[in-house]
Amino acid sequence: MKKKLSMLLAGTMALSILLTSCGSPSQGSAQSSGSGSGAQAVEDRTLTIGLAADPQTMDPQALLSTATTCVVANMYSKLLRRDDDMNIVKDLVTEYSIVDDTTWTFTIRDDVVFHNGDPLTSADVKYSIERAAKDETLMEYPHWKNIESVEIIDDYHFNIKTWEPYPALEALLSKSGGDILPKNYIEEVGMDGFLKAPVGSGAYRFVSYTKDQEVVMEPNPDYYGELNDDWDQVVFRVIPEASTRVGELLAGGVDIINNVSPNEWERINSNDGTSVLMGESTRVYMLGMKCSEGNKTADVRVRQAIDYAIDDSLIAEAVLDGAGVPTLTRVANGVVGQDADLYGKYNFDVEKANKLLDEAGYPRGEDGIRFTLGLEGPNGRYTMDSDVCQAVASMLMENVGIQVDLQLYDSTTYVNILSPREFKDAAMYCFGDNFFDGIYAIACYTPDFSMGETDYNNPRMNELYSSAMANMNLEERVAQIEEAQQIAAEEVPYSNLVNLKSAYGVRDGINFVGRLDEVFNLNTITRAE
């Protein structure tokens, strides 16, 4: 019963892009060698990266966003980290082992100093990890609260105690929030003072931050690891508007941009000296719906109907021009515990959707409308985000008579609305997973994360989450995460739509490889020989 695109999206001006012919980007790893005949020489030693969203904070534990992580991941060190292939490798740690089910012991380097010259010791590790684990106001807290304490042995040896067995500890320590902060410096200047002049121990140190404009960094000459010396300065420029980002790339104002929309691919590829380069991501477009009483979407049949009314394949192919894979799970490729039976699949059945709405007691009115659904979404934060929202709104109205009151917000306003976890009826998300463990994805189906957002609460889901958090048997744990995904696909607190591919614009003369976590690792971005 799939309708033709021209009929389905008729009258939706924002979707005129669907009729536009786009150039094809380069496939495979995102890498530019600068070998093209029109390649511009990199004449200065400043690397400029155009970000779609403002980092908003220099606190790595306070805000879950890729823009924040792109900056702070280069400024701070972690005990463990992900390399460009997403393998967990040692960073500050020299050795570690499991003492018992709830105790891990660690040794860290003795030659690490913060950017202000203070040595990094076990006291800084204890302060940082316990802050994430105990401060309920922090966005990272729900992921870290299973850590009971950090027990200092001496300056460079300590134990991490967990409340219960925690098989994902290595993944946790290597994700955002695991960044080690300078205890003494923060106690000296206060957290407000620290955020104005942050100090880390990473490969790059903070120079300045102008909100909604730019972050400036420079190499850390005291870095303990191998330092890329190609750049004297790195600038992250905040350029929310997609076409403006492209314009800056073409004009030479930036060297790399992220979140390149399909309608801009031809513009970049036809320009002498720039290319569109594709990478994979764990980012999934998800339509979150209120499950609490008093909301029309509290009825599971309504949520299922909305899911059946949305053609995920059409969004992937027409709106995103193939830069996405339909999915019924938030657990993307490369993430532990993915249910392969749900990935690459989608529900689209208009007849079934209408039947479910009739059964739920929402018949069509004389005007063909069943009810109005408030939908809040981003405009310019993610690839083609407003167009995805417009497509969903059009499909719901055309296919099942749900009128959508769509409110689109710029990146900063969108975060300010969603960070308190408060929205009206529904909200569009496009979340990534830098944990690379399915426990991170299914966490959003539990009360710690869902309250105020979807308000979803299922006792079996909560049980599976708690069990998988503590199960040291990998096979059993994966089975639990898979069952959780099956429940979520059936009860639809979120309608998972498309696993988004990442698209970058890169100037010739820059060697760059896109990471699965979408983080810019400045130490591996180099000038072409």
Give the pairing type, strands 371-378 and 402-409.
Answer: parallel
Residue 421: its pLDDT value, please?
A: 67
Percent of all residues in the chain with a pLDDT value above 90, rounded to a whole number: 81
Q: Please give the helix or strand (H or E) that residue 409 lies within, else none.
A: strand 402-409
Residue 338: its pLDDT value, please?
A: 96
Band (pLDDT 50/70/90 cuts) for residue 42 is very low
Would the pLDDT of 158 be above 90? yes
Residue 64: its pLDDT value, please?
A: 66
Query: Among positive and negative, which fits the CA dihedral 474, 82, 323, 315?
Result: positive
What is the domain count for the chain? 3
DSSP structure string for 343-400:
BT-----HHHHHHHHHHTT----TTS--EEEEEEEESSSSTTHHHHHHHHHHHHHHHH
Average pLDDT rounded to a whole number, residues 499-506: 96
Residue 210: its pLDDT value, please?
A: 96
Looking at the fold, whether 372 and 491 belong to one and the same domain comes out as yes
Nearest to 517 by CA among 254, 256, 332: 332
Residue 4: its pLDDT value, please?
A: 37
Residue 21: its pLDDT value, please?
A: 33
Band (pLDDT 50/70/90 cuts) for residue 413 is confident
Looking at the fold, whether 362 and 398 belong to one and the same domain comes out as yes
Looking at the fold, whether 276 and 289 belong to one and the same domain comes out as no
Looking at the fold, whether 381 and 416 belong to one and the same domain comes out as yes
Looking at the fold, whether 513 and 444 belong to one and the same domain comes out as no
Q: Which CATH number do you get for residue 360?
A: 3.10.105.10
Looking at the fold, whether 496 and 507 belong to one and the same domain comes out as no
Structure tokens at 449: 């994360």
Residue 17: its pLDDT value, please?
A: 32
Of 15-29, 109-123, 142-156, 428-442, where does mean pLDDT reach its minimum?
15-29
Residue 15: its pLDDT value, please?
A: 37
Nearest to 217 by CA among 336, 114, 351, 74: 74
Q: Is residue 27 part of a domain?
A: no
- The answer to whether residues 218 and 204 touch, using CB atoms and an 8 Å cutoff, is yes
Residue 412: its pLDDT value, please?
A: 80
Q: Is residue 357 part of a domain?
A: yes
Would the pLDDT of 461 be above 50? yes
Locate tokens 């969903």: which residue?
392
- The answer to whether residues 194 and 491 touch, using CB atoms and an 8 Å cutoff, is no
Looking at 148, 182, 216, the residue that finishes a domain is 182
Residue 43: its pLDDT value, please?
A: 56
Instruction: For 467-498, write each residue's pLDDT tens digit.
Output: 999 999 999 999 999 999 999 999 999 999 99
Of 30-44, 56-70, 367-381, where does mean pLDDT reach its minimum?
30-44
Average pLDDT rounded to a whole number, residues 98-125: 98
Looking at the fold, whether 374 and 481 belong to one and the same domain comes out as yes
Percent of all residues in the chain with a pLDDT value above 70, rounded to a whole number: 91
Crossing angle, helix 300-309 and helix 385-400, to 10 degrees? 110
Would the pLDDT of 27 be above 90? no
Looking at the fold, whether 207 and 321 belong to one and the same domain comes out as no
Residue 142: its pLDDT value, please?
A: 86
Q: Is residue 106 part of a domain?
A: yes
Looking at the fold, whether 286 and 274 belong to one and the same domain comes out as no
Average pLDDT rounded to a whole number, residues 36-61: 76
Looking at the fold, whether 338 and 396 belong to one and the same domain comes out as yes
Q: Which CATH number do you get for residue 135?
A: 3.90.76.10
Q: Is residue 19 part of a domain?
A: no
Instruction: For 188-241, write each residue's pLDDT tens digit.
Output: 999 999 999 999 999 999 999 999 999 999 999 999 999 988 999 999 999 999
Residue 214: its pLDDT value, please?
A: 97
Q: Is residue 444 part of a domain?
A: yes
Helix (H, G, I), strand (E, B), or coil: what is residue 427?
strand
Residue 452: its pLDDT value, please?
A: 85
Band (pLDDT 50/70/90 cuts) for residue 29 is very low
Would the pLDDT of 16 be above 80? no
Q: Which CATH number do you get for residue 244?
A: 3.40.190.10
Q: Is residue 190 part of a domain?
A: no
Instruction: For 323-335, write each residue's pLDDT tens digit.
Output: 999 999 999 998 9
Amino acid identity, residue 185? Y
- Backbone region of residue 492 per phi and psi (left: phi > 0; alpha: psi in -120 to 50; beta: other values): left
Residue 414: its pLDDT value, please?
A: 87
516/417: higher pLDDT: 516
Would the pLDDT of 115 be above 50? yes
In terms of residue numbers, what domain contains 438? 282-500
Interior angle at CA 447, CA 441 and CA 451, nearest 5:
105
Looking at 128, 149, 182, the residue that finishes a domain is 182
Check residue 260 and report its DSSP letter: -
CA distance 332 to 466: 21
Instruction: For 420-436, write each residue's pLDDT tens digit.
Output: 667 789 999 998 898 99
Q: Is residue 450 part of a domain?
A: yes
Q: Is residue 153 part of a domain?
A: yes
CA distance 281 to 311: 21
Looking at the fold, whether 458 and 516 belong to one and the same domain comes out as no
Looking at the fold, whether 292 and 438 belong to one and the same domain comes out as yes
Structure tokens at 403: 């009128």
Crossing angle, helix 183-196 and helix 122-134, to 10 degrees? 60
